[in-house]
Amino acid sequence: MERIGFVGTGAVGSTLARALDQAGFGVIAVAGRTPDRSRVLAAELDGCTALDEPQAVVDATDLVFLTVPDDAISEVCASLRWTERHAAVHCSGAHTVASLQAAAGAGAQVGACHPMQAFAGSGDVAEHLKGCMFGVEAEEPLRGTLDHLVRGIGGWSMFLRSEDKVMYHLAGVIASNYLVALAASATELLQSKGSSRDDALTGLMPILRGTVSNLDSRGLPMALTGPISRGDIGTIQTHLETLREQHPDLLSLYLELAWRTVPVALERGGLSSDRARELESLFKRFAVPE
């Protein structure tokens, strides 16, 4: 399948189309809800045309990526005419290939190919996908085709069954979305002492980058630093007392994360079993009643 098309030219679709084009795969047609955005994207891709209607993309191509919002996948798929020569692929991390039942019923191959990456806007560059894990759900021969495309743009495939998708998506949400929420909570603490939100985030960015860099270079559990990794009970107690007095809304969050940090610290080797038990006793004393 060499003729590739995209229905949906938002952040994910635009970035993936650019990556495929740069890798030499033939993205020849795109269409989206915003015609101007589609024309701009098509102009960046070699031999690509922005078409007015999604059906025109399907008619002109063999492999169609439906990079539309998750809740629209089934509806958009059902609105299009598919044939046995087609493959319909969505890029949702949470939805299974069941969302493409309309295409499957017409004899098309169906699959999902989700990049485990954070997309903040349609201007994301193709390099954003280098080294990226893609959750691929498809039967052969489409599975092999998608793996070939993924490897061609510098990514790698994690092959999934439909029943794996929720857990896969949960992992991405915790690693990405909730990291932003944690950064917001840390920023809130600095703001309470007079910092502006922007300055607080700027001040936290080096330690955030350093932590991600340590995870990349040293892995788990060796990337862990901080008072729990050292068994510094006095520091942890001061944290808990301060939160209880000044930020009780963050106490439960801190305790939950602290509980989950203990086994990582034990595995790392900087925390003894005796210290771990002392920490857990401390956590219980500060636990918020349900």
35 and 145 both lie in a single domain:
yes
Number of domains composing the chain: 2
Token pair, residue 120, equals 């903040």
Q: Which residue has the higher pLDDT, 263 or 2?
A: 263
Q: Are 25 and 152 in contact (CB under 8 A)?
A: yes
26 and 155 both lie in a single domain:
yes
218 and 276 both lie in a single domain:
yes
Residue 207 has pLDDT above 90, yes or no: yes
Q: What is the pLDDT of residues 209-224, one digit of tens each?
A: 999 999 999 999 999 9
User: Which secondary-structure segment (H or E) carries 115?
Assistant: strand 109-115
38 and 150 both lie in a single domain:
yes
- The H-assigned helical ranges of the chain are 11-22, 35-44, 54-60, 73-78, 101-105, 142-152, 165-172, 178-191, 197-218, 227-230, 233-246, 251-268, 273-286
**Overall average pLDDT of the 194-206 stretch:** 96
Q: Are 97 and 110 in contact (CB under 8 A)?
A: yes
Q: Are 21 and 129 in contact (CB under 8 A)?
A: no
Question: Could you give the CA distance from residue 18 to residue 8 in angstroms, rounded to a whole number?
Answer: 13
**Residue 121 confidence (pLDDT):** 64
Residue at which a domain ends, from 160, 179, 198:
160
145 and 19 both lie in a single domain:
yes
For the chain, the residue count is 290
Residue at which a domain ends, from 140, 160, 180:
160
Q: Are 49 and 107 in contact (CB under 8 A)?
A: no
* Listed residue (129, 232, 120, 104) closest to 176, CA to CA: 120
**Residue 168 confidence (pLDDT):** 97
58 and 200 both lie in a single domain:
no
Q: What is the pLDDT of residues 227-257, one digit of tens each?
A: 999 999 999 999 999 999 999 999 999 999 9
Q: Are 47 and 41 in contact (CB under 8 A)?
A: no
40 and 145 both lie in a single domain:
yes
65 and 152 both lie in a single domain:
yes
Q: What is the pLDDT of residues 156-193, one digit of tens each?
A: 999 999 999 999 999 999 999 999 999 999 999 999 99
Residue 124 has pLDDT above 90, yes or no: no
149 and 195 both lie in a single domain:
no
**Residue 228 confidence (pLDDT):** 97
**Residue 80 confidence (pLDDT):** 98
Q: Which amino acid is at 273?
A: S
Residue bearing tokens 């990291």: 179
127 and 171 both lie in a single domain:
no
Provide the CATH number for the domain around residue 79.
3.40.50.720
In angstroms, the Cα distances linking 6 to 15, 72, 162, 199, 227 are 11, 15, 23, 40, 49
Give every CB contact of residue 245 below 8 A, 6+ residues apart in sequence.
none
150 and 244 both lie in a single domain:
no
Q: What is the pLDDT of residues 109-123, one digit of tens each?
A: 999 999 999 987 655
Q: What is the pLDDT of residues 135-153, one digit of tens each?
A: 999 999 999 999 999 999 9
pTM above 0.85? yes
Q: What is the pLDDT of residues 22-74, one digit of tens each?
A: 999 989 999 999 999 999 999 999 999 999 999 999 999 999 999 999 999 99
Residue 1 has pLDDT above 90, yes or no: no
Residue at which a domain ends, from 160, 177, 199:
160
65 and 127 both lie in a single domain:
yes
| Domain extent for 231 | 167-286
Question: Could you give the CA distance from residue 19 to residue 111 in angstroms, rounded to a whole number?
Answer: 19
**Residue 230 confidence (pLDDT):** 94
